[in-house]
Amino acid sequence: MNIAHPEIRADQSAELLKQLHILTRDGKLNQDSRRKLKQVYHLYHFIEPLLTEVLAAHPDIQLVDHGAGKSYLGFILYDLFFKSQAPHGRIHGIETRDDLVMSSRRLADKLDFRGMRFQNLTVAESITSDRLPERIDIVTALHACNTATDDAIRFALNKHARFIVLVPCCQAEVAAVLRKNKQQSLKNSLTELWRHPIHTREFGSHVTNVLRCLQLESHGYQVSVTELVGWEHSMKNELIIASYKDLPRRRPSERLGELLHGLGLEELGERFFPGEALSGAATG
């Protein structure tokens, strides 16, 4: 449907834009929605090249979006790319809240987005579920809170995904361990980086993402980290994109272990460096 707004592409779904509150019910575009649309295009700018690269290899792109929520990201990607360039591809939204799964299914039916699938599954269930294809090309997880991002990474590594796109959020576990072990670490001057509570939270969040990057690198991925400006008006704007390149694994594996030990985070070793990945990550 052609929409008379220069900011909106001619083939975009007006109904979807209304559902995403980018267009008002009467088809208007106000200043706030222009800002949202800019954010949408900014995110798409990062993901489109990944989709294009996979499409060059095979037409049936398989993308899994973990912690999909209302499937905001999935619908955007389908509308802007899949429906015209990859009609044989599939987007699989994974969400544990059944009401959101059902509402996404209804919207996909209404829009005739036939390549979208929505499953009520946990990450652990999704790894072995026969409702998902064996080959997964791209895994996304945007603002999947706390350890849900790590669950998505575990899924992607298990599926040998070609690309992983993450916008982490609300990392609390590492900060909690730093806080718990603070007294034992006070002899180390580096503890000053997280001695004050606000620094514990901020440093814990930063360290969490550093550990995730090293984890991905220890499995042969090339990792880039940038800022996703203004996404959902959130300050959690760190965008991590991992591309599988079969790179050497030993050095990032060693650095990951050293960092866990140096910060007193050994008890989180299984989360970032599971035993089954230890030998594989240390080779190469």
Flag whether pLDDT at 8 surpasses 50.
yes
- Token duo for residue 243: 């591309």
- What is the DSSP pairing of strand 163-169 with strand 138-145? parallel
Domain ranges of the chain: 10-37+55-154, 171-284
More confident residue, 284 or 150: 150
- In this prediction, residue 162 carries a pLDDT of 98
140 confidence band (pLDDT: 50, 70, 90): very high
CATH code of the region 10-37+55-154: 3.40.50.150
- In this prediction, residue 279 carries a pLDDT of 38
Q: Please give the angle made by the CA atoms of 77, 82 and 83, to the nearest 5 degrees.
A: 115
> What DSSP string runs through 78-104?
IIIIIHHH-TT-EEEEEES-HHHHHHH
Angular region, 69: left φ>0, alpha ψ -120 to 50, beta rest: left
**Residues near 200 by beta carbon (within 8 Å), at least 6 away in sequence:** 175, 178, 179, 182, 194
**Residues near 204 by beta carbon (within 8 Å), at least 6 away in sequence:** 171, 172, 174, 175, 176, 178, 194
CA distance 264 to 200: 13
- In this prediction, residue 6 carries a pLDDT of 67
**Residues near 267 by beta carbon (within 8 Å), at least 6 away in sequence:** 177
281 confidence band (pLDDT: 50, 70, 90): very low
Q: Are 239 and 267 in contact (CB under 8 A)?
A: no
175-191: pLDDT as tens digits: 899 888 876 666 778 88
Per-range mean pLDDT, top range of 16-25, 208-217, 228-237: 208-217
190-204: pLDDT as tens digits: 888 888 989 998 999
**Tokens 């030993």 label which residue?**
250
CA distance 263 to 269: 12
Q: Name beta bridge partners: 240.
A: 166, 225
> What DSSP string runs through 229-267?
TTGGG-S--EEEEEEE-----HHHHHHHHHHHHHTT-GG
CA distance 210 to 195: 19
Predicted TM-score (pTM) of this structure: 0.89
- Token duo for residue 268: 């989180």
Half-sphere exposure of 210 (CA within 13 A, CB side): 14
- In this prediction, residue 271 carries a pLDDT of 84
Q: Are 248 and 280 in contact (CB under 8 A)?
A: no
Q: Are 155 and 65 in contact (CB under 8 A)?
A: no
Mean model confidence pLDDT for the chain: 87
